[in-house]
Structure formats: C-alpha cells, structure tokens
Amino acid sequence: MATGDDKSEEKLWGGRFTGATDPIMEKFNASIGFDKRMWKEDITGSLAYIKAIERLGLVTAAECLSISDGLRAIYKEWESNSFVIKPFDEDIHTANERRLKELIGDAAGKLHTGRSRNDQVTVDMRLWLREAIKNIRSYLISFIQVSLSRAKRDIDVLMPGYTHLQQAQPIRWSHWVLCHATSLLRDLQRLDQTANRADELTLGSGALAGNAFGVDRQMLAKELRFSRVSSNSLDATMDRDFVIDFLYWASVTMLHLSRWAEDLIIYSSKEFGFATLADAYSTGSSLMPQKKNADSLELIRGKAGSVCGRLTGFMMSYKGLPSTYNKDLQEDKIAMFETYDSMSELLQIATGVLSTLTVHKSRCQGALTSDMLATDLAYYLVRKGIPFREAHSLSGLCVAAAEAKSVKLCDLPLVDLQAISQDFGPDVMLVWNYENSVEQYTSVGGTAKSAVLHQIDAMEKVLKE
C-alpha cells in the first residue's frame, strides 16, 4: 500500500514520474472540485466493470465481492456526506479508487484492469447527463403544462398582436401563450433527441485502443442500461458531441425563454398593463418605493447570454483538438454542470411566474383599436369579389381618410367609405367587432377560439405520447 510520504504512488499515473509536482499545477490540474458531482455514476460504472472482468477471470469471485462491497461502502460515505477528499485526489476516479484501497487493500488495484480514465470519464458523464435530462425534461413539461392550463383559463381575453412591436391585429391572449409553448414543445423533442444521442456505452474503449482482455461490452451496456455500444474506441474517448448537443439544446431553449420573458417584461410594464407578476417573482427598488420590477424575467433573459456563451466557449475548446483524449476536455464538465444548474433553476422560475401571473382582461382589450381592423376591412372587400391587392389599397385609403379627419377608422362615415369604394355597404359596420375579427381565423393554427382549443388539445396529446 502507498505510504503518506510517497505522494507519487497516490496518483494513478505516478510510476513514471520522480519529481514533485508544482503545488499550483496540482490545483490547476485537479478537477475533483467539480467532477465530484459524478460520484454516484463513477461508482455505478465501477460496479458494472468489476462484474465484467470477473467473468474474464481477471479477478476472483472473492476479490469481486470485496471490491463491490468496498464500492458500496464508498457510495454510502458520499451519500451521507462523510467522504473525505484528500489533497492528492485530482479527480473523482482517483478519489474513489484511493478510498477503495484504504478500505480493502491492494485488491483495489485490480479494478482498473483494462480501463482508463479516458473511457471512465465518458461513461460517467453519459450516466450523469442521462439523469440530468430526466430532471430537466420534467421541468420543461411542467412549464408547457402550465402554459396549456393558462391558455384554457384566459381563452376569452383578447389583446393586440404585434409585429415590429407595433400593433398589428387582434388575437387571443391564449394564442400568445401557445406561441411560446409551441416553441418549447420543439425544445422538448430536441431534448429527447439529445438524450438518445447520449445513450451510448463508451466504457471498454480503454485509453484509446480498446480493451485488451475482451471485456463483454454488450453485458456492460445492459448492466448500465445503455441502448447501444460505441463502435470505435478512438472516437469514444474523444467524443463530446453529446455535451455539445446538450449545450445547444439549452442555448436554443434559452433563446425561446428569453423572448418569452421579454414579451412579459413589456406586457407587465405600466405602459401596457396587460399582466402583473406575483410578488414572489418581483423585487423592489432601493430608492423608489413604488417600483415593482420583473427581476425574475430579466434574470431569465440575462441567463440566455451565459448559456449560449458556454456552448460557444466549449466548442472553441473542442474544435482544434487532435484525436482521442486531451486535457482540454476537462472543460466539458464545467460547461455541462453549469448549464444544467442554470436550466433546472430558471425553468422552475419561469413555471412559477406563469402559473401565478395575473392577466388584466380590460387592459388587454382596452388596447385594441379600430385601425387594427384595417386588414378586416380589406377582407370585407375581398368577400365582395375584389382582388386582395386592390382591396388592400382601398383599405389603406380608408385609413388615410380617417387620419385626415382625425377620427378613428371605425368612426369614418359610410359616405366617406363609399367615396373610396361603392362596394362598401351598411353591413361594413359588422367589421368593427374584435371578437368577430379573431373568430374568422378558424384554420389550424389560427386565433379563433376553436383553433386555439385545437392547439391545446393537440399539444396535450403530444405530451401524453
């Protein structure tokens, strides 16, 4: 066994080196500060691996039992927060193996037979990410479900729809809610695709050339619940596409959440007043007592930059690496862990914001103006048989006439409308109804009540599937 004075022997790679490592280099090289999060996955992978090499006769049944019992004891130490990290535990693999040797003696050294930290770390990361995605997925589904619930509850609220942040046409508030839920449903599908691409066993690839003892990788895959086995050992030890996939998923999802947050920041301002955030998701000003700030939404919007930055940052670390493992890949775990922490936190915050939001129906509908029905005026003429391009032009002339008289479009006298087109009749007054306006958009994806309910039903079916 290693002695306390022989530091080189405490390292998995210490035999070739004779000089002491610079203490600053020790700290710079170590990853135990963050990869200790994978303690459970590291032990799980080792428990499967010791079974596999026992089948090959590389350890005896007694040694396999001793190693397995030792690993389970270490598991309990981590679980109870009693595991002690020592100065020369440079990563989670070293720490667990060092502790195993303390518990059972030299037999611990057989656990690493045919295995490298290069394939060990990739299987740990894939195991960790698999569980992380399950958690993230549940948070994302909760947000979508709350969106559907709010869409049902507020379905009779009408509001202005916007393009270029200019009032455009009347829509339902629920239609706006479902707009963002639809993009998040794509994010859910993209997350499932990410999980599928990460579902590959890399253990058994060794440092780069494979396993020299013929370990049964299919058995390992079954034991660790991976659906398939990596096909090339060189690729397996260098592949971090699954991390990039996760970071990309998070970045796209954050773009969607940031836009959702931006809309709500605007809609909850005094100028708009369409909605009010619950106090639980707002903060005040240290100077102005009247202020109620949408800090929860601003933080979500701000996190988009950080999450996207981790993707681009890691891609730049990854882009020029020579084949197989390089220590640059230590950056992968930092990006993966930090992104998971951000996404799991802010998805829960976003769900809380939406579920407790107060929608002000009168303010939403009070913001509607008759000039938003200019397109409906054109549609009125289209239904009279006038080509749309001509109808569009005639409606524009009506808008100009109303502006010239400083009256609302709906208050333009019939005689003035007929001066522009004889196709305007008394029934044109039916155009000036916001409910009628939204109800004409009955096609799939429209803002009519039936179309919105169809969207909700379709999304609920997707979630159930």
Residues belonging to the active site: 164, 285
Bridge partners, residue 374, by sequence: none
Q: Are 332 and 325 in contact (CB under 8 A)?
A: no
Q: Would you give the distance in Å from CA 146 to the centre of its chain?
A: 17
Angle at the Cα of 257 from the Cα atoms of 190 and 134, rounded to 5 degrees: 45
Distance, CA of 400 to CA of 418 (rounded, Å): 14
User: Phi and psi at residue 425, in whole multiples of 5°?
Assistant: -125, 180
Distance, CA of 30 to CA of 334 (rounded, Å): 13
Q: Are 274 and 174 in contact (CB under 8 A)?
A: no
Which helix (H) or strand (E) segment holds residue 387: the answer is none
Distance, CA of 240 to CA of 249 (rounded, Å): 14
- Six-digit token string for 79: 């679980």
Distance, CA of 53 to CA of 217 (rounded, Å): 11
Q: Would you give the distance in Å from CA 110 to the centre of its chain?
A: 40
CA–CA distances in Å: residue 45 to residues 40, 41, 119, 162 = 9, 6, 11, 53
Bridge partners, residue 160, by sequence: 170
- Six-digit token string for 248: 């990309």
